[in-house]
């Protein structure tokens, strides 16, 4: 169950177990180094920071997002579209209630908003120890089958990945888990695009049912091949230029 409230100027959604996630949020906002520390940074960009967070309640993944571009467009869009992060925390909570643990858990969302536009978003996710699939020597057929079935169940719960590449799958002790999910509303198109990306990046087989799905897969594959061809041409051109210069 997710609790919603206003807290220290933030719109907060958090797991309703107790106040531990609000305590962690208070420590983050107060920069309380006695209770929290950051042993590892996964990503640090002007608009996005993702790190491992040590707290008195255990380890979590901390994500802080503050958009820097297209602010007027994002503001207008927020007035008419569902809040993606809020949608995601509810979807994952519902999935967990059903015993489905493929996605990493989403514990807290705190947003400082102007009307419905989030200027700053602070998120706490489950930390899943283990290697990313892009770092393992080979993805076995059994792993691909596990990913395919888990994604099918994920889509049945109207959760999408949005970027199904090897860096977003963790080989944990309990099996393969997925991270960094999109909170965009589920659609059949987005589900097919997840499968296509997983096929291109991980070799997960794509199965299509309707002519529409077959057509979408064909278009996405064609686009991917064009991009790959352009990159190869650019690389060859760069090599030729370097050889000519020498």
- For the chain, domains (ranges, CATH) are 1-127 (3.30.200.20), 132-240 (1.10.510.10)
The confidence score (pLDDT) of residue 234 equals 73
The pTM of this model reads 0.87
- Average pLDDT taken over every residue of the chain: 90
Report the b/e string of 31-62 with b at 16+ CB within 10 A.
eeeeebeeeeeeeeeeeebbbbbbbebeebbb
Conformational region of residue 70, where left means phi above 0, alpha means psi within -120 to 50, and beta covers everything else: left
**Per-residue model confidence (pLDDT) at position 243:** 63
pLDDT given at position 166: 94
Q: What pLDDT was estimated at residue 56?
A: 94
End-to-end CA distance of the chain: 65
Residue 242's pLDDT is 66
Ordered strands of the 48-55 beta sheet: 2-7, 10-15, 106-114, 117-126, 58-65, 48-55, 37-44
* pLDDT (tens digit per residue) in 166-219: 999 999 998 999 999 999 999 988 998 999 899 988 999 887 777 877 787 788
Structure tokens at 80: 């008419």
* DSSP SS3 for 233: helix
CA atoms within 13 A on the CB side of 56: 14
Tell me which of 55-59, 108-112, 128-132, 224-228 is least confident.
224-228
DSSP string, 114-173: ETTEEEEEEEEEE---S-BGGGSS---HHHHHHHHHHHHHHHHTT-B-S--SGGGEEEET
Question: What are the residues whose beta carbons fall under 8 Å from the beta carbon of 173, sequence distance 6 or more?
Answer: 129, 130
pLDDT confidence tier of residue 22, bands split at 50, 70 and 90: very high
What is the percent of the chain with per-residue pLDDT over 70, rounded to a whole number? 95
Per-residue pLDDT tens over the stretch 79-127: 998 899 999 999 999 999 999 999 999 999 999 999 999 999 999 999 9
Residue with the two structure tokens 């169940």: 153
Q: What pLDDT, on the 0 to 100 scale, is given for residue 100?
A: 93
100 contacts 133 by C-beta, under 8 angstroms: no
| Residue 150 to residue 90: CA distance in whole angstroms | 19
Residue 203 DSSP code: -
């Amino acid at each position: 169950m997710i609790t919603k409230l206003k807290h220290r100027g933030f719109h907060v959604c958090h797991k309703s177990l107790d106040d531990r996630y609000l305590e962690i949020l208070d420590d983050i906002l107060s920069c309380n180094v006695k209770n929290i520390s950051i042993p590892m940074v996964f990503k640090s960009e002007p608009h996005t920071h993702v790190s491992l967070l040590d707290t008195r309640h255990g380890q979590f993944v901390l994500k802080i997002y503050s958009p820097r571009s297209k602010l007027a467009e994002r503001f207008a869009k927020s007035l008419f579209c569902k809040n993606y992060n809020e949608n995601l925390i509810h979807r994952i909570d519902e999935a967990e209630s059903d015993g489905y643990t493929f996605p990493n858990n989403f514990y807290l969302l705190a947003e400082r908003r102007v009307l419905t536009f989030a200027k700053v978003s602070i998120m706490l996710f489950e930390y899943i120890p283990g290697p990313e699939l892009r770092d393992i020597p080979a993805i076995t057929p059994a792993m691909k089958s596990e990913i395919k079935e888990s994604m099918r169940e994920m889509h049945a719960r109207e959760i999408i990945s949005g970027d199904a590449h090897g860096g977003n799958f963790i080989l944990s002790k309990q099996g393969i888990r997925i991270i960094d999910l999109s909170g965009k509303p589920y659609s059949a198109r987005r589900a097919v695009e997840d499968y296509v990306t997983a096929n291109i990046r991980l070799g997960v087989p794509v199965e299509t049912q309707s002519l529409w799905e077959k057509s979408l897969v064909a278009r996405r594959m064609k686009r991917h091949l064009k991009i790959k061809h352009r990159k190869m041409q650019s690389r060859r051109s760069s090599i030729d230029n370097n050889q000519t210069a020498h």
